[in-house]
Amino acid sequence: MEDIVARKSRLSRKQSRKLSGKFSVLLLLIVVLLLTAGWIFLFEGKKPEASLAGVPSSIGKNTSINIEVSDEGRGLKDIYLYLYKDKREILLDKQVFQSEGFLKGSGKLKYNISLEINPEELGIKDGTANIRLVARDFSWRSFFKGNQFYAQKDVLIDTTPPKITVLSRKHYVAPGGAGLVCYKISELDSKSGVIAGGEFFPGYSGITKDPHYKIAFFALEHRKKNKPIYIEAVDKAGNIRKAGFNYYIRKKHYKNDKINISDNFLSWKMPEFNVEGEENLKLVDKFLVVNNKIRKENTEKIISFAKKSEKKKLWEGSFMQMPGSAKKAGFAEHRSYYYKGRKIDEAYHMGLDLASVSNADIPAANSGKVVYSDRIGIYGLTIIIDHGFGLLSIYSHLSLSDVKDGDIVKKGEIIGKTGTSGFAGGDHLHFGIFINNRFVEPIEWLDGKWIKNNITSKLDLISSGK
């Protein structure tokens, strides 16, 4: 019996030692895992991240800088932004973040640097410089210094505005009319053009082999008092130069017109247009939506083609009027619409209505490139021709188009036939000219004398270099 008890006791001790050994191994494994996790957490090796894309390549008198710095680990510890110029180190920004505890980081995972650099205040001159960014996190790596991110970018300090030399001498322009100014710019990478009536009309090079020489068509609004007209140039660093030029604004008045809207016209034209909720609208109410909302959308679509205008001159001489046609309505006429004796709406007519025989041939008013040939709302079947340098012509209410997008047409080439599409009440051509985002008086462009005095004489001047 005693032997049996002794054997059981020895067996129990062996099992106890085995269990104790297993527990020790498990405990050791847990400790190793905890130490490994702690090591990974405290000694994490991913650096902070940032991009210097928000630092412009050129820095002017007051240039904004935006840099986002981030860290996916224990948080940002400190950030330093420097500018190096002429062996000087200038601290632009310094941010130091506090730890939330011995084993914790800062918890600051993102920080946005947003500041303005003023070279004059910093006492630095124009020339090349270098922007450098250093950011560290709260990792225990590198003897508790943390992971370090470093980036640099070469920049140009440029506080001098571009120079503008006005070359054309006299500029006569009327409300609703167009003008042309020729000038020379000192910095090729500058964005330049004419500011007229608060609107920007871009300048184009290409009239001569020297890209410093530029021309800019501009236009005046037909009904408002126009603000000062001047040339403006902005370089890559944001430096702005303005240059005035000699101009004279002629007086011009546009007619008023009264148009009666009949039920027959509404029944004829309104089915062409889709208007939201039209099933609940009377035809006259649908007309008001079309004459306002859709008219505005159509106009915006038309003038958008000027943004892609060819940077070269595609036309020659004066523009031609449709042969045998008579003017039925003029540019900028103020139209009042009446229905059953009551005024219901008003709008401005931004082109010429020219009528001849039904389905008359329509020639291209001048040489250029067809950029649109399709229907546009109230304008009906429409052709738009780009003549280059932001100058375009439009032909609307057509019954037929003989051209397609991308076609190159010559002055006088037949492009389509007149019709009654869109809002036309009778067979005619709506002919218009627009510069950038502004419709202008077409009569000017049909006048050879006006073209010579105001446009081609200036182009000849800049081409000859005089």
Name the phi and psi angles at 306, rounded to 5.
-65, -25
pLDDT confidence of residue 319: 97
Residues 139 and 193 in one domain: no
463 in helix, strand or coil? helix
What's the rounded Cα separation, in Å, for the pair 114 and 116? 7
Look at residues 395, 351, 340 and name the one whose alpha carbon lies nearest to residue 371: 395
What six digits make up the tokens of 42? Answer: 């405290």
459 part of a folded domain: no
pLDDT (tens digit per residue) in 268-297: 999 999 888 878 899 999 999 999 999 999
98 part of a folded domain: yes
42 part of a folded domain: no
Look at residues 363, 353, 442, 361 and name the one whose alpha carbon lies nearest to residue 399: 361
Residues 64 and 208 in one domain: no
Residues 343 and 393 in one domain: yes
CA distance between the termini of the chain: 132
Residues 264 and 365 in one domain: yes
Residues 63 and 144 in one domain: yes
pLDDT (tens digit per residue) in 222-263: 986 667 999 999 999 999 999 999 999 999 999 999 999 999
What's the rounded Cα separation, in Å, for the pair 261 and 340? 8
Cβ pair 349, 254 in contact under 8 A: no
Instruction: Please return the burial class of 144, using the count of CB atoms within 10 Å of its CB with bins 0-12, 13-18 and 19+.
Output: exposed
Cβ pair 68, 50 in contact under 8 A: yes
What's the rounded Cα separation, in Å, for the pair 130 and 186? 25
Q: How many helices (H) and strands (E) does the chain have?
A: 9, 30
Residues 245 and 307 in one domain: no
Label residues 422-444 b or e (16+ Cβ within 10 Å = b).
bbbeebbbbbbbbbbbbbbbbbb
| Confidence tier at 14 by pLDDT (50, 70, 90) | low
Task: Give me the domain span that covers residue 364.
Answer: 256-435
In the chain, what percentage of residues exceed pLDDT 90?
Answer: 74
The residue among 97, 122, 157 that closes a domain is 157
Look at residues 338, 386, 390, 337 and name the one whose alpha carbon lies nearest to residue 366: 386
Residues 145 and 169 in one domain: no
The residue among 251, 278, 303 that closes a domain is 251
What number is the average pLDDT over the span 116-122?
94
357 part of a folded domain: yes
What number is the average pLDDT over the span 51-59?
93
Residues 308 and 393 in one domain: yes
Rg (Cα) of the chain, in Å, rounded? 37
| Confidence tier at 177 by pLDDT (50, 70, 90) | very high
Return the half-sphere exposure (C-beta side, CA atoms, 13 A cut-off) of residue 344.
Answer: 20
pLDDT (tens digit per residue) in 18-49: 656 666 665 655 555 544 444 444 456 588 88
Place of tokens 């943004």: 307
pLDDT (tens digit per residue) in 66-83: 999 998 877 888 999 999
Residues 110 and 151 in one domain: yes
Instruction: Please return the burial class of 379, using the count of CB atoms within 10 Å of its CB with bins 0-12, 13-18 and 19+.
Output: buried
What's the rounded Cα separation, in Å, for the pair 38 and 435? 69
Cβ pair 146, 73 in contact under 8 A: no
| CATH number of domain containing 181 | 2.60.40.10
pLDDT (tens digit per residue) in 406-444: 999 999 999 999 999 999 999 999 999 999 989 999 999
217 part of a folded domain: yes
Cβ pair 52, 153 in contact under 8 A: yes
Residues 99 and 83 in one domain: yes
Counting the structural domains of the chain, the total is 3
Contacts 24+ apart (CB under 8 A), 287-290: 287/261, 287/339, 287/344, 287/345, 288/344, 288/345, 290/377, 290/378, 290/423
| CATH number of domain containing 316 | 2.70.70.10
User: Does 337 have pLDDT greater than 70?
Assistant: yes
The residue among 129, 157, 185 that closes a domain is 157
Distances (CA, A) of 213 to 181, 316, 457: 11, 20, 16
pLDDT (tens digit per residue) in 83-112: 999 989 999 999 998 876 656 666 788 999
29 part of a folded domain: no
pLDDT confidence of residue 35: 46
215 part of a folded domain: yes
Place of tokens 């008001």: 288
pLDDT confidence of residue 72: 80
pLDDT confidence of residue 461: 81
Residues 149 and 182 in one domain: no
Residues 199 and 322 in one domain: no
Residue 24: other Cβ atoms inside 10 A = 10
pLDDT confidence of residue 37: 46
β-sheet bridge partners, residue 179: 218
What number is the average pLDDT over the span 383-390?
98
pLDDT confidence of residue 280: 84
